């Protein structure tokens, strides 16, 4: 496990992909209808007199996919939809008859670039309701933007240094304490995350980043260029917490750090115990501040009991309808109106459907569309 998560292993793997073209082609969109429809769909109350949008649904190529959960929700709630191939050259013409586009972009720099560019047109010029919005797409898998927003709003972020200035970065690595956690701007599951153990290694990495060619990453087509993102290796209790907030609902679980590791994300060590109210409430405040319908907030518990946020994600990986459990029962946490108290409500649910319902509430109904 540790070998497969190392930077050298991933660089070697991606070199093989370049040398053996076609052997590592990305899989086509999957259809897990039987698995999805075994779970009762999320229902949405629709006000009388408000037209339902015609939704262009983009089949994502993740495994497991998001789009099939969206389809199940749309069909169960009588919302008209059709498949929409946003990647074709005629994507603008095909969008002309739509009211909305629902697209879960892959967390790949190439698709994120395409998504952000096309949302400028779909949302900003053509006026379609888009999930994600351009704001969400910019936030997704951009650790620099996430941290700068969190710092701006005064949330308890892990101590992080971000700079696009070589001399400032070199001065910082000379005076800081080691080890440091080095991250690339786009990466999930602990990929693109390294431990820098001393000033010599940090100095070398900084000079590579600001060199003419930049520094190699685990993405075979992308190099880290002209920025550094360094986090303090925060003291913690040996786990991180992931809380996924959707409106006034939340899901959450623990991820234990394996022995000899410093990372929890992507290590497949999930543990389902009661998520404390302070973590649920902190994640809820963050989601409201950044104004997105769904947000996963990853945080550490320090030895003194305080929480430190390390990362955010607009579209966290979801393997099944059991992303939150308590005493063996799947469910969600529901925020109580009086104070920051949360109650666990047993249910089996696809969180993607909760998120799409919230997006339609915020971006279609509350915005006065369809009247």
User: Which tens digits make up the pLDDT trace of 75-93?
Assistant: 999 999 999 999 999 999 9
364 secondary structure, DSSP code:
I
Give the pLDDT confidence score for residue 25 in this predicted structure: 59
Q: In 10 A of CB 321, how many CB atoms?
A: 20
Tokens at 193, concatenated: 């995350």
- 277-290 vs 143-152: helix crossing angle, rounded to 10: 100
- Residue 69: alpha-carbon gap to chain centroid: 17
Residue in the block written with tokens 């971006």 = 363
In the prediction, which pLDDT does 191 show?
79
Q: Rounded to whole angstroms, how far apart are CA atoms 134 and 132?
A: 6
Per-residue pLDDT of the chain (371 residues; tens, 9 = 90+): 344 444 455 556 555 554 455 555 567 888 999 999 999 999 999 999 999 999 999 999 888 999 999 999 999 999 999 999 999 999 999 999 999 999 999 989 999 999 999 999 999 999 999 999 999 999 999 999 999 999 999 999 999 999 999 999 999 999 999 999 999 999 876 678 899 999 999 999 999 999 999 999 988 889 999 999 999 988 888 889 999 999 999 999 998 876 655 554 545 678 999 999 999 999 999 999 999 999 999 999 999 999 999 999 999 988 899 889 999 999 999 999 876 899 999 999 999 999 999 999 999 999 899 88
Angle of helix 67-76 versus helix 351-360 axis, rounded to 10: 60
Evaluate whether residue 170 is within a structural domain.
Answer: yes
Residues 132 and 208 in one domain: no
- CATH number for position 343: 3.30.470.20
- Residue 345's pLDDT is 96
Asked whether residue 371 is assigned to any structural domain, the reply reads no
Q: Say if 89 falls within a structural domain.
A: yes
Q: CB under 8 Å to 309, separation ≥6 — which residues?
A: 150, 155, 156, 157, 158, 282, 286, 297, 298, 299
Regarding whether 220 and 247 lie in a shared domain, the answer is no
Question: Which pLDDT score is estimated for 264?
Answer: 47
pLDDT (0 to 100) of residue 24: 52
pLDDT at 261: 53
Q: Report the interhelical angle of 199-209 vs 166-175 (nearest 10°).
A: 170
Last residue of a domain, one of 212, 232, 252: 232
Written as six digits, the tokens of 328 are 């063996």
Provide CB contacts within 8 A for 288, sequence distance 6+.
none
Nearest to 249 by CA among 290, 295, 298: 295
3-class DSSP assignment, residue 119: helix
Calpha distance 119→129 (Å, rounded) = 10
Same domain, 78 and 175: no
| 362 inside domain | no
CATH of residue 93: 3.40.50.20
Where in the sequence is the domain holding 278, given as residue range(s)? 239-355
Q: Give CA angle at 263 (258, 269), nearest 5°.
A: 45
> What are the CA-CA distances from residue 124 to residues 117, 129, 134, 264, 267 (Å)?
10, 10, 8, 38, 39
Instruction: Report the alpha-carbon distance of residue 270 to residue 273 in Å, rounded.
Output: 10
Do 96 and 194 fall into the same domain? no
Q: Are residues 263 and 341 in the same domain?
A: yes
Count of domains in the chain? Answer: 3
Contact 53, 99 (CB under 8 A): yes
* 152 within a domain of the structure (yes/no): no
- The answer as to whether 36 is a domain residue is no
Answer for the pair 311, 234: CB distance below 8 angstroms, yes or no: no
């Amino acid at each position: 496990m540790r070998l497969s998560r190392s930077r050298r292993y991933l660089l070697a793997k991606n070199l093989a992909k370049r040398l053996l073209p076609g052997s590592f082609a990305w899989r086509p969109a999957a259809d897990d209808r039987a698995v999805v429809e075994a779970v009762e769909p999320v229902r949405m109350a629709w006000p009388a007199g408000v037209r339902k949008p015609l939704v262009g649904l983009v089949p994502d190529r993740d495994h497991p996919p998001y789009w099939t959960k969206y389809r199940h929700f749309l069909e169960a709630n009588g919302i008209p939809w059709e498949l929409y191939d946003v990647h074709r050259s005629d994507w603008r013409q095909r969008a002309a008859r739509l009211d909305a586009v629902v697209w879960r972009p892959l967390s790949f720099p190439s698709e994120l670039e395409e998504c952000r560019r096309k949302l400028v047109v779909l949302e900003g010029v053509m006026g379609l309701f888009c999930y994600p919005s351009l704001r969400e797409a910019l936030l997704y898998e951009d650790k620099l933007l996430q941290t700068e927003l969190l710092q701006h709003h005064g949330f308890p972020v892990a101590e992080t240094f971000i700079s696009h200035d070589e001399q400032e970065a070199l001065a910082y690595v000379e005076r800081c304490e080691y080890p440091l956690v080095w991250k690339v701007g786009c990466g999930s599951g602990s990929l693109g995350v390294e431990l820098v153990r001393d000033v010599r290694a940090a100095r070398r990495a900084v000079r590579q980043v600001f060199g003419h060619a930049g520094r190699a990453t685990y993405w075979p087509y992308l190099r880290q260029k002209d920025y550094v993102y360094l986090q303090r290796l925060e003291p913690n209790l040996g786990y991180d917490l992931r809380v996924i907030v959707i409106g006034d609902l939340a899901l959450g679980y623990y991820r234990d750090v394996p022995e000899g590791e410093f990372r929890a994300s992507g290590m497949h060590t999930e543990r389902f115990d009661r998520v404390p109210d302070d973590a649920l409430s902190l994640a809820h405040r963050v989601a409201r501040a950044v104004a997105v319908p769904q947000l996963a907030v990853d945080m550490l518990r320090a030895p003194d009991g305080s929480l430190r946020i390390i990362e955010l994600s607009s579209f966290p990986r979801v393997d099944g309808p059991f992303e939150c459990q308590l005493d063996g029962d799947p469910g969600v946490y529901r925020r109580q109106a009086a104070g920051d108290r949360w109650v666990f409500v047993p249910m089996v649910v696809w969180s993607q459907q909760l998120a799409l319902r919230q997006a339609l509430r915020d971006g279609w109904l509350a915005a006065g569309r369809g009247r």
